[in-house]
Amino acid sequence: MNDEGRVLAGRYRVGALIGRGGMSDVHVGTDTRLGRQVAIKLLKPQLATDPAFRMRFRQEAQSAARMAHPTIVRVFDAGEETVVDAAGQEVQLPFIVMEFVEGRLLKDIIHDGPLEAAAAVRVIDGVLTALEYSHRAGVVHRDIKPGNIMITTAGQVKVMDFGIARAVSDSSTTVAQTTAILGTASYFSPEQAKGETVDARTDLYSTGVVLFEMLTGRPPFRGDTPVAVAYQHVSEKPVKPSVINPKVSPALDAVVMHALSKNRDQRYQSAAEFRTDVDTAASGRVPVHREPDQATMLFGAPTGSLSSSELALRQLAEDETMTRTQRRPPAIWIWSGIIGVVVIVIAVMYWAFNLQPTAELPPNVKEIPTLTGSTYEEAVDALQELGLPASSVEKTDDTVPAGQVIGTDPPAGEKVDNGTAVTVFVSTGKQAVAVPDLRNKTLEQAKADLIALGLVPGAENREPSPTVPGDTVLGTTPEAGAAAEVGSTVDFRISSGSVTLPDVTGQTLEAATSYLAAENLQLTAVPKPDASCKAEPGSPVTNQSLAPGDVPQHSTVELTYCAG
């Protein structure tokens, strides 16, 4: 059934197919009423045969349409259209009208190889921001995977298909059917694989799988069938990402492994908590995950989990039939004790507030000065005056200029013994990456490659080229292989798809023909004799069919010469 050209709901014209998945096809489309470009997702007609799906689909589409956030692909409309299939039967065609986003799917970017840690952190930050917003709105995605994450040409992260996975899974009778519809089990949480109820922490597990795949180029579990993969999610422990890609830091290893905990109570409990640890790991520090202490577990336990001794204490406190047999102390003793405690507290507070701090330190104790922003040489001089030896350690920093001090260990303000060695952290500036070789790539592909490395696409300067197709990169500034700071701009030299035709009138036919066929032009000259004027040896070209200026590559130019 060819859907191109079809008009849905009397206003949405279906255009060319731009994507295909296990349960839907995506077309570019036009909202004829508002005159804007949209993306139209056409779900498989067989899904609409289930009344439970149709009801759930409408409910979830309404929930998704209420979410408006820069990191979420907007849902504008949804419905069902009665169409006639190839067999001549009427079927219901569910559709969703969404915001049209120009960019690449994350799964296509990962297909090119693992992402740099900084790029992976930026993407996962965007995904977690979207989930934090949706979870506050009470919407669980249930199908977080690279195929549902779009990176725009400007580097913005966009998450799509909120609610569709729930509409499918809630109307499917078994996990196996749900897996077949969703097309992959690589991103299933253990509770999804076991057919249990899901919550926001399910999305966080799937996000951990996506982060693992960005860092390594492959998901943590692979198998011949979806069932085999789902079994591994339930029963097998994944390897650390650094085992596959040694470039992954221990800090990111810790974040990924915590996100992939089988027990949902032991993994991240919120998207905000996950994002905080990702940012901590990106700064080079390993996040610390503490188990709940016993006191918290005791006082935070629900009634159903109280021990027998706790129940006995509660029954004792609530039993009104019991009478006290021990005589209580006289009231005057109680009030005397209270007054005595109050007097002691007031006396201690008065003494503390009236202490006169001394600014002098013992001779053998020094206070680490604040050295942030100074040069290493200035820091060494300041520390040597205090009798503290110094050594330097270089670190990348996005905010402190290269050559300036970021901080010290021990930190500023800390009091140390005389002679304590101080480590001075000196900034090397922003993290540097090598500019990739983008020659002969399309402009869109080149921009995506730069964004994936944390660089910013800059000016686009078009130049004539006899061979390279239009909108294809000729080179960059800085050139390929040069070091550039993350966040810096890279300019493009792009083929215009044309060459500059010179004025060859007045030249001999032979010279003009040779000039146009030269390597830098590669144009075809066609002689055109003119019988109205007398031929002479070395007769010049009197006219050319194309005016001087930019002309398409490999153009044909007629050269008129006297032949009378």
Residue list, annotated binding site for ATP: 41
| Spatial CA neighbour of 466 closest among 395, 552, 350, 364 | 552
User: DSSP letters of 2-35?
Assistant: --TT-EETTTEEEEEEEEE-SSEEEEEEEETTTT
- Pairing type for strands 456-463 and 415-417 reads unpaired
d(CA 273, CA 49): 41
* Residue type (1 letter), 218: R
Phi, psi of 460, rounded to the nearest 5 degrees: -120, 105
Q: What are the beta bridge partners of residue 93?
A: 81
DSSP 8-class letter at 283: T
Phi-psi region of 227 (alpha: psi -120 to 50; beta: other; left: phi over 0): alpha
With H, G, I as helix, E, B as strand and everything else as coil, classify residue 477.
Answer: strand
d(CA 74, CA 39): 10
Strands (E), 110-156: 149-152
Do 252 and 208 meet the contact criterion of CB atoms below 8 Å apart?
no
Burial environment of residue 116 by CB neighbours within 10 A (0 to 12, 13 to 18, 19 or more): middle
| Spatial CA neighbour of 188 closest among 160, 215, 216, 225 | 225
What tokens appear for 127 in the block?
A: 């995904």
What tokens appear for 474 in the block?
A: 């000729």
Q: How many CB atoms lie within 10 A of CB 243?
A: 11
DSSP 8-class letter at 155: S
Which residues are catalytically annotated? Answer: 143
**What b/e string do you get for 271-304 counting C-beta neighbours within 10 Å, with b at 16 or more?**
bebbbebbebbbeeeebeeeeeeeeeeeeeeeee
Provide the annotated binding site. Answer: 41
State the Rg of the chain over Cα.
35
d(CA 423, CA 407): 9
What tokens appear for 24 in the block?
A: 């839907």
d(CA 193, CA 229): 9
Helical (H) or strand (E) element with 407: strand 405-409
d(CA 391, CA 425): 9
Any idea which residue has 């669980």 for tokens?
A: 140
Q: What are the beta bridge partners of residue 536?
A: none
d(CA 245, CA 264): 26
d(CA 42, CA 58): 14
